[in-house]
Amino acid sequence: MMKSFFMRRRFWFKDFATGGNMWRHYRDVRRIMRHPEESQPVLEERLEDILKYAKSHTGYYSGFEGKVLSDFPVVNKNTIRENYDAFIVGSKDGYIPRFTSGSTGTPFCAYQDKDSAIRRIATIKASNDGFGFHSCMPMLYLRSLEIPEEDGSMLRYEKAQNIWYGYIASYDDAELERVVRFISDRRIRYVKGYASVIGYLTDYIEKSGAVLPRELVFITISEILTENVRSRIVDRLGLHVVSQYANEENGLLGQSVPDGPGTVFRLNKANCRIELLGLDNDEPVSIGQPGRVVVTDMTNRAMPMIRYDIGDVAVCLEALPNGEPLVIRLLDYRRIDMIYDTSGNPVPMAVPPQVFALPSLRQMQFIQEDVKEYVLNLNMSPDSQNVDCTQVAQYIKDLLGRDAQVRVQVLCEMPQTSTRKHKLCIQKCSRYLPL
């Protein structure tokens, strides 16, 4: 670990030489994470400050007379999309775009200022400290993207952070074997990826009898870590796992206890005020009652998000004295069903990028109805041109198999779950449904 230590020292030295902004954010976030109750006065000031800032710098909130958070309206992706420029402060020049499609299938781009981006990185570093992962320790980040390097490799090394990015195209045994061998050969200590990716890797490790270092930690993101996967990692394989709760728009929102339940999160209070509001109203719910997760980002001054409904549903398990949630259990998180190609291979990204790039796309939903039968539902904005459904179907056939039977439908409204969420991918084929 000496290499990691010296790389970390070099990273912080460069930060100090350029003003130490990352270090200041890191120390502040770490302090708030460790002492959330004692930090309430300064967090209240920051909340008041972002509310005033939004009113004086954005078109959407200009002239708004509300003074406290509960006075402000709850917004969502569609609210922001329909009033896009009114949420952005000044010109987009110099801002950092954050793209998301999410499990709800709603394409969206949020902007972030540079200082907020630095704080997001500092937040990840401070949160990772909680389970022993310090900057520049060797990590493999598994990404479900087909973006090979120029030499044809599906691996990319980021030397400055000592992180390997592995772009995986499928979950067949040959590819999973390469991943396991890479972890062992490179002495990887941390493996990060979608919960479903980690689940498939866990299946292979169990099946193959592969032996990995006992200190290996899996970090799951973007999807729910099921109890089945968690218990197998911890109890059967003797390894470790942490689940991180985050989104592209607001960054890291919470983190599970190491090896603990993958749906229970201690919230990150350093950057966001998180409310749990009624499923059918905007009133706070009581402890133990389900509520919508609504986020107010206190750090982003490029595109202030006040009371932003992120589409998740949770219950509060523990609150601060002022009633603010501190520990939550997610009830309806980003569950993305796995889709399989016509040969029976799981496909990490079942919706081709050309579909996400369709002009005026508001929302989509992809369904596998049988082994070779698929349905793509599209919801387009009223001013959109006619969609070339034949071409869209061909994009999907290129990905899933030439013998795929694809039906593309343009709908006025998407089906929802019982908690009013839209699912991006739905698996209905009996062969692939869990027993």
Residues 369 and 418 grouped into a single domain: yes
The pLDDT, as a whole number, for residue 101 is: 60
- Residues forming a β-bridge with 377: 365, 409
Q: State the CB neighbour count (10 A cutoff) for residue 398.
A: 12
The pLDDT, as a whole number, for residue 332 is: 57
Q: In sequence order, which residues have a C-beta less than 8 Å from that of residue 15 and are 6 or more positions away?
A: 21, 22, 23
Q: What is the CATH number of the domain that holds 199?
A: 3.40.50.980
Residue 5 within any structural domain of the chain: no
> Last residue of a domain, which of 303, 332, 361?
332
Q: What is the DSSP letter of 92?
A: -
Q: Tell me the H-state helices in 221-379.
A: 227-231, 353-356
Interatomic CA distance for residues 307 and 76, integer angstroms = 8
The pLDDT, as a whole number, for residue 104 is: 52
Q: Is the pLDDT of residue 418 over 70?
A: no
Q: Which residue has the higher pLDDT, 424 or 139?
A: 139
Q: What is the pTM of this model?
A: 0.79
Phi (first) and psi of residue 181, to 5 degrees: -65, -40
The pLDDT, as a whole number, for residue 145 is: 52
The pLDDT, as a whole number, for residue 265 is: 96
The pLDDT, as a whole number, for residue 194 is: 85
> Last residue of a domain, which of 285, 301, 332?
332
3-state class of 309 per DSSP? strand
Q: Is the pLDDT of residue 310 over 80?
A: yes
Residues 281 and 217 grouped into a single domain: no
Residue 422 within any structural domain of the chain: yes
Interatomic CA distance for residues 343 and 403, integer angstroms = 10
What is the band of 327 on the pLDDT scale with cuts at 50, 70, 90? very high
**Residue 243 tokens, joined:** 């689940």
Residues 193 and 285 grouped into a single domain: no
Name the residue type at position 121: I
Residues 143 and 222 grouped into a single domain: yes
Residues 142 and 247 grouped into a single domain: yes
CA nearest to 354, candidates 331, 324, 402, 387: 387
Residues 99 and 41 grouped into a single domain: yes
The pLDDT, as a whole number, for residue 424 is: 76
Mean pLDDT, residues 85-97 taken together:
93
Pairing mode of beta strands 325-332, 264-267: antiparallel
Name the residue type at position 296: T
**Residue 210 tokens, joined:** 């592969």
The pLDDT, as a whole number, for residue 334 is: 52
Q: Is the pLDDT of residue 152 over 60?
A: no
Residues 328 and 344 grouped into a single domain: no
Residue 105 within any structural domain of the chain: yes
Residues 158 and 51 grouped into a single domain: no
Give the chain's mean pLDDT.
87
The answer to whether 316 and 291 have CB atoms below 8 angstroms apart is yes
Residue 226 within any structural domain of the chain: yes
Q: In sequence order, which residues have a C-beta less than 8 Å from that of residue 111 and are 6 or more positions away?
A: 88, 92, 95, 96, 97, 98, 302, 303
Provide the number of structural domains found in the chain: 3
The pLDDT, as a whole number, for residue 196 is: 78
Burial (CB count within 10 angstroms: exposed 0-12, middle 13-18, buried 19+), residue 231: middle
Residues 149 and 100 grouped into a single domain: no
Q: Is the pLDDT of residue 320 over 90?
A: yes
What is the band of 3 on the pLDDT scale with cuts at 50, 70, 90? confident
Residue 7 within any structural domain of the chain: no
pLDDT tens digits for range 201-213: 998 999 899 989 8
Q: Is the pLDDT of residue 147 over 60?
A: no
> Last residue of a domain, which of 233, 255, 277?
255
pLDDT tens digits for range 105-140: 566 789 999 999 999 999 999 999 999 999 889 999
Mean pLDDT, residues 77-91 taken together:
92
**Residue 131 tokens, joined:** 């389970």
The pLDDT, as a whole number, for residue 383 is: 63
What is the band of 264 on the pLDDT scale with cuts at 50, 70, 90? very high
Residues 322 and 362 grouped into a single domain: no
The per-residue DSSP string of 145-165 comes to -----TTS-SEEEETTTTEEE
What is the band of 302 on the pLDDT scale with cuts at 50, 70, 90? very high
Q: What is the CATH number of the domain that holds 279?
A: 3.40.50.12780
What is the band of 279 on the pLDDT scale with cuts at 50, 70, 90? confident
The pLDDT, as a whole number, for residue 243 is: 95
Domain span at 206: 136-255
Residue 14 within any structural domain of the chain: no
Interatomic CA distance for residues 15 and 238, integer angstroms = 37
Burial (CB count within 10 angstroms: exposed 0-12, middle 13-18, buried 19+), residue 434: exposed
The pLDDT, as a whole number, for residue 4 is: 87
**Residue 339 tokens, joined:** 């889709």
Residue 42 within any structural domain of the chain: yes
| Range in 54-68, 288-302, 303-317, 330-344 the model is least confident about | 330-344
Mean pLDDT, residues 243-265 taken together:
94
CA nearest to 365, candidates 106, 144, 169: 106
3-state class of 173 per DSSP? helix
pLDDT tens digits for range 154-206: 778 888 889 999 877 667 788 889 999 999 999 999 999 988 789 889 989 99
Q: Is the pLDDT of residue 359 over 80?
A: no
The pLDDT, as a whole number, for residue 431 is: 87
Q: Is the pLDDT of residue 150 over 60?
A: no
Q: Is the pLDDT of residue 8 over 70?
A: yes
Residues 141 and 242 grouped into a single domain: yes
Handedness of CA 313, 289, 128, 227 (dihedral sign): negative
The answer to whether 271 and 297 have CB atoms below 8 angstroms apart is yes
Name the residue type at position 273: R
Phi (first) and psi of residue 7, to 5 degrees: -65, -40
Whole-Å CA distances, 71 to 51, 139, 303 = 10, 44, 19
Three-class HEC string of 176-232 = HHHHHHHHHHCCCCEEEEEHHHHHHHHHHHHHHCCCCCCCCEEEEECCCCCHHHHHH
What is the band of 54 on the pLDDT scale with cuts at 50, 70, 90? very high
Residue 77 within any structural domain of the chain: yes
Residues 343 and 327 grouped into a single domain: no
Percent of the chain whose pLDDT exceeds 90:
57
Q: What is the CATH number of the domain that holds 343?
A: 3.30.300.30
